[in-house]
A and B are shown apart, each in its own frame.
Chain A
Amino acid sequence: MSDDWDFSACQAGVCYGLESELRTHEGRHAVAGLQRFATGAVACLQGGGGLVSNLRVWENLILPAWYHESAAMADLEVRIAAVLDVLAVAEEERASLMASLPASLSRSQCRVLALVRALVQAPAWLVVEVEWLEWLQGAANIHCKEAFGLLRQDRPMLLLGAGAMLHAEPLPTIVDTKESDALAER
């Protein structure tokens, strides 16, 4: 369980995996453990985007950074604009996109916005669902692929979902020192 995982032994640029989805008991425990280890510095890329349906898109995009950093709104707007530039989102679409509710967007748009939110957050850890990664490797545009490549190279990534271990290595676990000493003596 999450208490046995040693997140401090994880390295930037490495993908760790769990064969559990985010909404399962083990998936939730893993992310909760990660949140305890790196409070407020974990971004999440979910298959469906993970946006909150009663918040406008711009509120969704700034929410994690605003909540954890209490950053100024002007600063957050600059960060969002910079990320939208990186992802080549057309200028004329931005105003309507920012003002819309997630329910009016396609699944693909929600996934792009989840990436925008993660880039705005500039996290220490990435949690990615297999479904989101499959979309990125398939239908996502080149700008998303490049932005994600840059995002994941500087931080460890936890891949969640069925088939995660095909792309990832297991999370390191905390080794019980007494047990390991006993094993060494034998």
Chain B
Amino acid sequence: MLSQLFKLLPLLGQLRRPPVRRVVLKQLYFTGNQAAWIMLLIGVALGGIVLLMLHGQYGQSREASMRLLATLSFRDISPLLAALVLIARSSSAVASELAAMRVHGELDSLAAVGIPVSSYIVLPRIIGIGLSSALLSIYLASASLVGAALVSSGWEIGYQVRRIDQVLQFGLVLQCLGKSLLFGLAAAALACWTGLRVAPYVTEIPKASSSAVVRSLLAVFFIDLVWVLLS
């Protein structure tokens, strides 16, 4: 899979073509924008739950709970949770879309007019989903802080917002972005790979969809494990 990602590096020059950039923007819209409200809601709920548990069950002070939540959410929970939502929504969709294109001969049609599948189909989806994953993860993590601040301070949330620099460090934001970008790239590459490798039968389309989800989940959890072991 990593070798597949590296093979795409020389293709980055294809982004100079307007249709390729359009597919990237479409993917950002479908994956990054349409899922934003889901992430915000999940984030607010997550922040509230974690803060209540830390404060109510483990006896942490509210400030300590906020600091712990920021660390947990930006470093560990949000990238993973965002990846899970992204896999459920987009990996399956991309795999079934590409499988359907393959079954109906549309990839051959594109190749016949000189449009390579790698640069027009695969590259924009991987870039779009990778960037969306990073964005969604940041939405989720930020929303979790808002949710925790709401639970912690109620209508005096402004007090917590002013103290945000004391609970959130720049390094955590970078970790969140880097990890979720990696998760997104891996999930997208696997979804494309699964969708493009199906046998040309209609019955293979749902199989591709579920295979992409399972493979992406495995990849994301193992990447997370390796990340934790290395950091």
Residues of A participating in the B interface, judged by any CB pair closer than 8 Å? 22-23, 28, 31-32, 35, 39-44, 46, 48, 50-54, 63-64, 66-68, 70, 121, 127
Contacts and interface: CB of A to CB of B under 8 A. Distances in A.
Interface residues of B, number: 20
Given A53-B101, A53-B106, A66-B19, A31 B115 contact: no
B108 A23 contact: yes
Contacts of B106: 50, 52-53
B17 A67 contact: yes
Contacts of B100: 53
Contacts of B112: 22, 31, 35, 42, 44, 46, 50, 127
B82 to A, nearest CB: 25
Contact of B115 (A32, A53, A54, A63): A63
B120 A67 contact: yes
Contact of B114 (A35, A66, A70): A35
Q: Which of B106, B111, B112 has the most chain A CB atoms inside 10 A of its CB?
A: B112
Contacts of A46: 109, 112
B46 to A, nearest CB: 33
B101 A52 contact: yes
B113 interface: yes
A71 to B, nearest CB: 9
A42 B114 contact: yes
A52 B110 contact: yes
Given A28-B108, A53-B104, A66 B113 contact: no
B113 A43 contact: yes
Nearest to B119: A67
Given A50-B105, A63-B113, 12 more contacts: A22-B108, A22-B112, A28-B108, A28-B111, A43-B113, A44-B112, A48-B105, A50-B106, A51-B109, A52-B109, A67-B20, A67-B114
B109 A44 contact: yes
A32 B112 CA distance: 7
Interface string B89-110: 0000000010011001110111
A54 B97 contact: yes
Interface string B138-170: 000000000000000000000000000000000
A35 B17 CA distance: 18
Contacts of B114: 35, 39-42, 64, 67-68
6 contacts: A22-B108, A39-B114, A46-B109, A52-B101, A53-B104, A54-B101
Nearest to A60: B109
B21 to A, nearest CB: 10
A51 B120 CA distance: 15
B98 to A, nearest CB: 10
B17 A44 contact: no
Q: Which 9 residue pairs are nearest across A and B when measured between Cβ atoms?
A: A50-B109, A44-B112, A64-B113, A40-B114, A35-B114, A67-B19, A31-B112, A66-B19, A52-B106
Nearest to A41: B114
Contacts of A22: 105, 108, 112
Nearest to B105: A23
B18 interface: yes
